């Protein structure tokens, strides 16, 4: 069985066993358990985003502090690709994982709509 097939089966098992209603919710509370079940059969290593500097440079852009302070996510690194419950096919950069893309989009929009006025 390849990693994509295994991730889909594990995701479906989490949902069928009422651990989470969908892949997004797995990534929002059960991401470490999910990653451990995938790496437990030999598919790569589990990482949190604050461990990425050991593996690959990660640039969050203007939302760096917001992402690092708000979104804590555990995912899988296997054969140069990053995987989680929402992304069984894997991506070449972790910020392309759907959970991070949602948070980056949210915080980028928030920065655009928030005015900062500090002049006296």
Is the full-model pTM beyond 0.85? no
Tokens 């889909």 belong to residue:
8
pLDDT tens digits, 7-23: 999 999 999 999 999 99
Secondary structure (3-state) at 75: strand
Cα–Cα distance, 41 to 27 (Å, whole number): 19
Kindly report the length of the chain.
Answer: 120
Is the pLDDT at 102 greater than 70? The verdict is: yes
């Amino acid at each position: 069985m390849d990693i994509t097939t295994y991730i889909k089966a594990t995701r479906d098992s989490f949902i069928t066993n009422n651990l989470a209603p969908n892949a997004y919710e797995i990534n929002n509370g059960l991401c470490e358990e999910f990653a451990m079940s995938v790496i437990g059969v030999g598919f790569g290593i589990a990482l949190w985003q604050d461990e990425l500097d050991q593996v690959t440079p990660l640039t969050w852009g203007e939302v760096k502090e917001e992402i690092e302070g708000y979104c804590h996510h555990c995912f899988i690194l296997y054969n140069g690709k990053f995987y989680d419950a929402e992304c069984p096919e894997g991506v070449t950069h972790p910020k392309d994982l759907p959970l991070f893309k949602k948070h980056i989009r949210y915080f980028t929009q928030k920065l655009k709509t928030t005015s900062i006025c500090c002049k006296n």
